[in-house]
Amino acid sequence: MNMRHPLANARGLGSAKSGTSHWWGQRVTALLLIPLVIWMLYVVIVYANQPYQVLQVFFSHSYNSILAILLILAMLRHAQLGMQVVIEDYVHSQPLETILQLLVKLCALTGAITGVLAVVRLALQG
């Protein structure tokens, strides 16, 4: 039985029944990012001042490429989900909010493609 007032249905506001998957996605990517960020910090701290060739060899190993791609995808998904909530909370103009939400998704997707492309290119050079 639908307990909602017909007017509420007509307005179309309120729960879109997607809150749980959003909440869960934010936590799952957060958990995934714990080991991946530790790995990234290790790479940045240890390899930051190494010459180009050393880094190229590092990223020619498939396990490093896999970790780098996992990091990029988990990071950008986590960022997109987080930015979505921030925009939902603070941007109260409906057209601007829609534009920003789409822009964030476009940026995350473009970033993912660019990052994965770079890692694949590095993997193929090795």
Q: Which residues bind another protein (CB under 8 A)?
A: 27, 30-31, 33-34, 37, 40-41, 45, 48-49, 52, 55-56, 59, 68, 72, 75-76, 79-80, 82-83, 86, 89, 92, 108, 111, 114-115, 117-119, 121-122, 125
DSSP category for residue 108:
H
Alpha carbon distance 66, 123 (integer Å): 10
Using the minimum distance from each CB to another protein, give the nearer residue, 50 or 98: 50
Sign of CA dihedral 47, 48, 54, 57: positive
CB of 90 to another protein, least distance (A): 8
Residues 6+ apart with CB under 8 A from 4: none
DSSP 102: H
In the complex, minimum distance from the CB of residue 12 to another protein, in angstroms, rounded to a whole number = 18
Q: Closest approach of Cβ 17 to another protein, in Å?
A: 19
